[in-house]
Amino acid sequence: MCEKNTRLLKAYDLEADSTDIELAGQLLREGKTVIIPTETVYGLAANALDETAVKQIFEAKGRPSDNPLIVHISELAEIDKLVAEFPKELDLLAESFWPGPLTIILPKSELIPLGTSGGLPTVAIRMPENEVARAIIKSAKVPLAAPSANRSGSPSPTTFEHCVADMDGRVDAIIESYPCKVGVESTVVTLCTTPPRLLRPGAVTLSQLRRVLPDLMLDRGVLNEIDNDTTVSSPGMKYKHYAPKAEIVMVKGTSDAFAKYFNSQIAKDKQCYAVCFEEDVPLVWGKYITYGKQNDHITQAREIFALLRNLDERNVNKAFIHAPDIDGVGLAVYNRLIRSAGFNVVEL
């Protein structure tokens, strides 16, 4: 792809930074690509209704063209033109969780190009909670397709600096704003199956969703590896994901068991790292990075992607990650880490 002259814009405050928000909207309306902040991760946005604009997203990321994009809206009325059906479950979910880190999959309308839906007859819709994100959608006056703004396969960006590192020269503009509050991508639920299914866990948890959709099922791909020949419900599941250059091993067990295992590994290779909980620190002998307390899944979610990038900055060859429990937001953290590890898991 040809090198772009990437403009760096700023949007921390809706009023003080209104000029840059308007400019971002204008660029998007003209078919350009702009990286925007959201509460989950930064997103690489383009006009979702413009096939040519959307094509630049796939090019910038190096993303396979059959991996569909999420379409972002700023208010509920905007969904009317984008989907072909309005099941009552949509109202229930929207009322409880929008704006917020939940994506809902529905049959698409004619207006959504196949380039946006990855060739599927369905479309994923999300209304972000982040005020800057919604102000930019409003200013663009079009729905925005926006995958995470990382190079395909790498950890998702949760800060402006991550976006610049991955995408400077590949997009038309990058918006500088706060680090992402949630840190993992939105929960994805499909209403196109009976019963509905959770395809990707996020900050909106399975139990919160089941209060509204009691028969919601957890898709097999959330916790299990999908082989290349299986038809997947969400194309994103089959691709390599969130992988730093370091070899990652997930280790399941108590603090004592994790530390004992890690300490036996550093006896063989002094350079390897422990990625562990604060409680583990007194027990591990080698180098370590922590990602919150064992029961604090909110902090773990906020920190994991920066942590995976940090391993590369330190030129780590191999890291052993103490696996989080899979309750609440822990399921989302576990889901991302197991992919970063290429499903390489040790159970103690």
Q: Under the rule (CB under 6 A), what is the footprint of ligand TXA?
A: 38, 40-41, 43, 67-70, 101, 103, 105, 117, 120, 122-124, 126, 146-148, 185-186, 188, 199-200, 234-236
> Residue 60: which residues within 8 A CB-CB, separation 6 or more?
1, 33, 44, 167, 170, 171
In the complex, the smallest distance separating the C-beta of residue 280 from ligand TXA, rounded to whole angstroms, is 29
Taking the least distance from each CB to ligand TXA, the nearer of 243 and 289 is: 243
Nearer to Mg ion, 33 or 148 (CB): 148
State the minimum distance, in angstroms, from the CB of residue 41 to Mg ion: 7
Three-class secondary structure of residue 329 per DSSP:
coil
Q: Which is nearer to ligand TXA, 133 or 276 (CB)?
A: 133
Q: How far is the CB of 251 from ligand TXA (least distance, A)?
A: 26
Q: How far is the CB of 338 from Mg ion (least distance, A)?
A: 15
Closest of 304, 243, 14, 27 to residue 142, by C-alpha: 27
Smallest distance, Mg ion to C-beta of residue 15, A:
31
How far is 153 from 163, CA to CA, in rounded Å? 14
303 binds, among Mg ion, ligand TXA, none (CB under 5 to 8 A by kind): none
Shorter beta-carbon distance to ligand TXA: residue 240 or 314? 240
**Residue 266 CA: distances (Å) to CA of 6, 255, 271, 308:** 43, 16, 7, 20
Kindly state the tokens that stand for 24. Answer: 């971002």
How buried is residue 189: exposed, middle or buried, by Cβ count under 10 Å (0-12/13-18/19+)? buried
- Minimum CB separation of residue 3 from ligand TXA in Å reads 24
The type of residue at 164 is V
Of 231, 261, 227, 199, the residue nearest 343 (C-alpha):
227
Nearer to Mg ion by Cβ, of 148 and 300: the residue is 148
Interface residues with Mg ion (CB under 5 A) are 148
Distances (CA, A) of 73 to 69, 99, 129: 13, 9, 10
Q: What is the identity of the amino acid at 75?
A: E
Binding partner of 69, given Mg ion, ligand TXA, none, CB within 5-8 angstroms per partner class: ligand TXA
Which residues face 284 on adjacent strands? Answer: none
Which residue number, 42 or 273, has a Cβ lying nearer to Mg ion? 42
Distance CA 53, CA 65 (A): 13
| Residue 47, token pair as written in the block | 């006009």
Shortest Cβ 314–Mg ion spacing (Å): 24
**Residue 299 binding: pick among ligand TXA, Mg ion, none (C-beta 5-8 Å cut-off by kind):** none
136 binds, among Mg ion, ligand TXA, none (CB under 5 to 8 A by kind): none
Q: Which residue has the tokens 């419900």?
A: 233
> Which residue lies nearer to Mg ion by CB, 148 or 205?
148
Residue 61 interacts, among Mg ion, ligand TXA, none and using kind-specific CB cut-offs from 5 to 8 Å, with: none
